[in-house]
Chain A
Amino acid sequence: MTSGVLIFAFDNADIDYVGMAAWSAGNIRRHLDLPVALVTDREPPSGVFDRVIVIPAGSNAHDRWFDDFNKCVTWHNTDRCDALALTPWEYTIMLDADYVVASDTLLSLISAKPCLACHSRTIDIARPHTGDILPVFGRYNFPQWWATVVAFDHSSYSQAVFAMWRMVRDNWQHYRDLYGIADTLFRNDIALSIALCAANGHAIPNVSIPWTLKSIMPQDQLQRLGPDSYRLDFIDKKQRNRYVELTATDFHAMNKKSLGEMIVTKR
């Protein structure tokens, strides 16, 4: 059985997602020794990715407010539900381009090969006292899973989840009304959560990755100290400047501006 990583990356005027994915591919090979496939809308530099799947990005763009850029940025995020059809691997770990691999933690998913797994719990690295967060969405607190890391095979359950994910995307207004979702912007996390429950007989599925997704918030600043060592500068609730150092810890860098600058300058 072939196993590999799949990353979706569509550049816009402000964020070099393909550059992030290329940097991430290096980390993935170093820690996981897995091939990396990229889904994008233009040919990237050769030799960086093991497979490149080019699809048009024209019709799937949204404008989304990014706190770290302090403006609306064009965002291509609606093709993720096609991952099962697009992936060249029999077992896939789909990662956000801004997920930083700094350890071999994800290999345990390759060993266990759950038919589908993603994160339900998340923690803000800069504010761990708030505890693990079990997020919810909509007016009636529907439980939310994260599409940041999704491991999947080609089983009937995975196929049902991705088909339902696509249905939510194609009928976003209906699902907004049904779940009381205020945000007009399509969100993969929400669509995946709806799909997971529907495909599981309308019951809470047992698909959670057993460890917590560590996240860095958009307002916090990231620096690279070494190959797998990072420094996170943040302001605490008493408005004091603080920092924390991370070593050999995977994390989701939601501060894309800071991550992009770090990759470009190789700090």
Chain B
Amino acid sequence: MSPKDEQGYLILAVNTAETDYVTCAVKLAQSLRRFHQHCKICLLTDKPVQLSEFDYVEILPRGDLGGFHNDWQCWLASPFHETIKLEADMLITSPIDHWWHLLRHRDIVISTGCRDFYDNTSQSRFYRRAHDSNSLPDVYNAVTYWRISETAQEFWRWVRIIFQEWKNIRGVLKFPDQDASTDLVYAMAADCVGRDKVIMPFASYPRIVHMKRHVVPIQGTDWTQELVWENLDDQLRIQTMAQWGCVHYHIKDWLIREQQ
């Protein structure tokens, strides 16, 4: 696709029987607009929808391939020359437009590592067994920057190949997931392209706050039921701690329940 705009945020959201990802994307777009009123936001989904939160609504060019397998279509569908892809089940809790200046030193940057809600770098490797066992980089697809370039094209080509050939490729991995997970596919693609070209492991940006059980010190699986949180107009606080950057809230219906 030829770019329609210079730079913008892309949110991939395809509803499933269990999860209303499009509403998650709307909430994410609203949180972005709180800090960046005039930023461009594109929703990438499977059906035409009219939602005022988005400047562009693009339809998956190869159709709904199911779950994570749609991910590589972001490259084909983004209407921007420079794109920051954001996972739908996140909130933006502070200005992030400085990311553009920091990230455009590379053709593509995948976020590395994650934080807990105290802003400590997570030491938990519970969800990273396959990454660690296969010496893959600790990448999180939740925030991914790219601009139209040969490096990005090469990276996305590998993402597509790995997703399409997952049944064959998983055989060479230790402890592979049954189904391809985007983080693992990105990590493998990063190695194919050259990890030094696509990650900045020592950078403190862009990094996400992850709310999964083994990253944050909760007893159960649903942090929204266990921790004290305050979702205010311009600030999200968890256990009284103000959040910065992206919060990957993981409990998909949290904000929908809050609205009700």
- The answer on a CB contact under 8 Å between A143 and B118 is yes
CB neighbours (8 Å) of B216 from chain A are 140
Q: How far is the CA of A126 from the CA of B244 in the complex (A)?
A: 39
User: Nearest chain B CB to A231's CB is how many angstroms away?
Assistant: 37
Q: Which of B218, B227, B228, B240 contacts A198 (CB 8 A)?
A: B240
- The answer on a CB contact under 8 Å between B240 and A140 is no
- The answer on a CB contact under 8 Å between B217 and A140 is yes
The reply to whether the CB of A203 lies closer than 8 angstroms to some CB of chain B is yes
The reply to whether the CB of B239 lies closer than 8 angstroms to some CB of chain A is yes
The reply to whether the CB of A179 lies closer than 8 angstroms to some CB of chain B is yes
Interface size class of chain A, counting residues whose CB lies under 8 Å from the partner chain: 10 to 19
The reply to whether the CB of A225 lies closer than 8 angstroms to some CB of chain B is no
Q: How far is the CA of A208 from the CA of B249 in the complex (A)?
A: 30
- The answer on a CB contact under 8 Å between B239 and A140 is yes
- The answer on a CB contact under 8 Å between B239 and A179 is yes
Q: How far is the CA of A142 from the CA of B235 in the complex (A)?
A: 19
The reply to whether the CB of B119 lies closer than 8 angstroms to some CB of chain A is yes
CB neighbours (8 Å) of A240 from chain B are none
Residue of A nearest to B230 (CB): A202
CB neighbours (8 Å) of A203 from chain B are 119, 241-242, 244
Interface residues of B in 117-138 (CB under 8 A from A): 118-119
Interface residues of B in 141-163 (CB under 8 A from A): none
- The answer on a CB contact under 8 Å between A201 and B217 is no
- The answer on a CB contact under 8 Å between A204 and B119 is yes
- The answer on a CB contact under 8 Å between B119 and A140 is no
Would you give the 0/1 interface string for A126-166, flagging 1 where the beta carbon is closer than 8 Å to chain B?
00000000000001111100000000000000000000000
- The answer on a CB contact under 8 Å between B242 and A139 is no
Q: Which of A140, A142, A194, A201 contacts B242 (CB 8 A)?
A: A201
Which of A140, A143, A179, A202 is the most central at the interface, judged by chain B CB atoms within 10 Å of its CB?
A140
Q: How far is the CA of A137 from the CA of B26 in the complex (A)?
A: 37
- The answer on a CB contact under 8 Å between A178 and B217 is no
Q: How far is the CA of A179 from the CA of B219 in the complex (A)?
A: 14
CB neighbours (8 Å) of B214 from chain A are none
User: Nearest chain B CB to A140's CB is how many angstroms away?
Assistant: 5
CB neighbours (8 Å) of B227 from chain A are 140
- The answer on a CB contact under 8 Å between B119 and A142 is no
Q: Which of B217, B219, B240 contacts A202 (CB 8 A)?
A: B240
The reply to whether the CB of B237 lies closer than 8 angstroms to some CB of chain A is yes
Would you give the 0/1 interface string for B202-245, flagging 1 where the beta carbon is closer than 8 Å to chain A?
00000000000000111100000001100000010101111010
The reply to whether the CB of A57 lies closer than 8 angstroms to some CB of chain B is no
CB neighbours (8 Å) of B240 from chain A are 178, 194, 197-198, 202
- The answer on a CB contact under 8 Å between A202 and B228 is no
- The answer on a CB contact under 8 Å between A204 and B118 is yes
Q: How far is the CA of A204 from the CA of B240 in the complex (A)?
A: 11
- The answer on a CB contact under 8 Å between B237 and A178 is no
Q: Which of A141, A194, A204 contacts B217 (CB 8 A)?
A: A141
CB neighbours (8 Å) of A139 from chain B are 217, 219
Q: How far is the CA of A179 from the CA of B118 in the complex (A)?
A: 13
CB neighbours (8 Å) of B218 from chain A are 140
Residue of A nearest to B237 (CB): A202
CB neighbours (8 Å) of A140 from chain B are 216-218, 227, 239
Interface residues of A in 24-38 (CB under 8 A from B): none
Q: How far is the CA of A202 from the CA of B235 in the complex (A)?
A: 10
- The answer on a CB contact under 8 Å between B217 and A197 is no
Q: Which of B118, B228, B242, B244 contacts A178 (CB 8 A)?
A: B228
Q: How far is the CA of A143 from the CA of B235 in the complex (A)?
A: 21
- The answer on a CB contact under 8 Å between B118 and A202 is no
CB neighbours (8 Å) of B237 from chain A are 202
Interface residues of A in 63-111 (CB under 8 A from B): none
CB neighbours (8 Å) of B244 from chain A are 203
Q: Which 8 A-B pairs have the closest CB atoms?
A: A202-B242, A141-B217, A203-B242, A140-B217, A140-B239, A202-B240, A202-B237, A202-B241
Sample of 7 A–B contacts (CB below 8 Å): A139-B217, A139-B219, A140-B227, A143-B118, A194-B240, A201-B242, A202-B237
Extra A-B contacts (18), CB below 8 Å, given A140-B227, A198-B240: A139-B217, A139-B219, A140-B216, A140-B217, A140-B218, A141-B118, A142-B239, A178-B228, A178-B239, A178-B240, A197-B240, A197-B241, A202-B237, A202-B240, A202-B242, A203-B241, A204-B118, A204-B241
